A = this chain, B = another copy of it.
């Protein structure tokens, strides 16, 4: 059983708590840190936490806590990890690990030196479909992998800090591209070195400094290509799709938009309130997603994380993986500016 301290009571903090307390789970969120008192109190009430505070270190240091879960804006991932290292608390951190590879590397080293467990919460590498597809790929059903693409697009984030480059570290490329990079890398093989990146990124619609649309190619040492398409300007909901091409086969995964059921409603009866994450309409044809928390990989992710921690083994997604993802994205940002293929520095 894990007794979890949640850092951050926002969108993903609550989503994580739903997963952690879901079904017949033996784990419990016992402590919550949030910046504002009422957020912390509300979260504590909603999820039955024994302890809440607006002081991060107090929450991490709380002796009851066995595992810290970081669900804070990107610029706070590193300070939070450092406190975990200080207090020797096992830690799992949401994506992206750092705002860049430098940060990620420091976090990785701190965890290693402290001898604590570190897990990288890359949920989209834990969706049930992804896990099963990856097994097939590893078993050789697709032959040699030539190309793996991942796409994540939606109409834009819900919180202000995403739009501030300082806090966020980047735009949609860092926010969404981190998922896509790791998905493609997993299909191509984590043992294969990413070599160089070519990227286009632009601010096409949103009134922001950072990019709201980006496309990149990541070349691996064996000639395979990873590709991502990310955007905060997509209309119609949240689109999460992966494609893999191999010499002997093909895999297409849709992780969200058309995976639920089909519903038409005139809206004359009683409208729909919530259809699915980032759905943009609630009359006409709608496609509510069945079990978002499971379909998006949260359940399988926490199961792997905690089981790995308890068994003394590494989880599937480690801080090292988070660091590689950051390094690839750093190269992508350089390429968007230089208009050249840029090497991945690892």
Contact = CB atoms under 8 A, between A and B. Distances in A.
A141 interface: yes
Interface in A6-57: 23-27
B246 A269 contact: yes
Nearest to A26: B26
Interface string A143-167: 1001100000100000000000000
Contacts of A250: 234-236, 262-264
B288 A285 contact: no
Interface residues of A, number: 82
A247 B284 CA distance: 14
A200 interface: yes
A113 interface: no
A266 interface: yes
A251 interface: yes
A236 to B, nearest CB: 3
Nearest to A127: B290
A146 B290 contact: no
Contacts of A24: 25-27, 302-303, 306-307
A151 to B, nearest CB: 9
Contacts of A246: 235, 269
Interface in A169-211: 198, 200, 202, 204-205
A333 interface: no
Given A249-B236, A250-B263, A271 B339 contact: no
Interface stretch (A75-83, A132-140, A322-330): A132-140
Contacts of A299: 23, 294
Interface stretch (A104-112, A223-231, A311-319): A223-231
Contact of A263 (B127, B247, B251, B268): B251
A280 B283 CA distance: 11
Nearest to A140: B270
B266 A249 contact: yes
A120 interface: no
A248 B341 CA distance: 33
A3 interface: no
Contacts of A142: 235, 263, 265, 269
A102 interface: no
A221 interface: no
Contact of A129 (B223, B225, B260): B260
Contact of A245 (B233, B287, B295, B302): B233
8 contacts: A26-B26, A133-B288, A136-B272, A139-B272, A153-B245, A234-B250, A281-B284, A284-B285
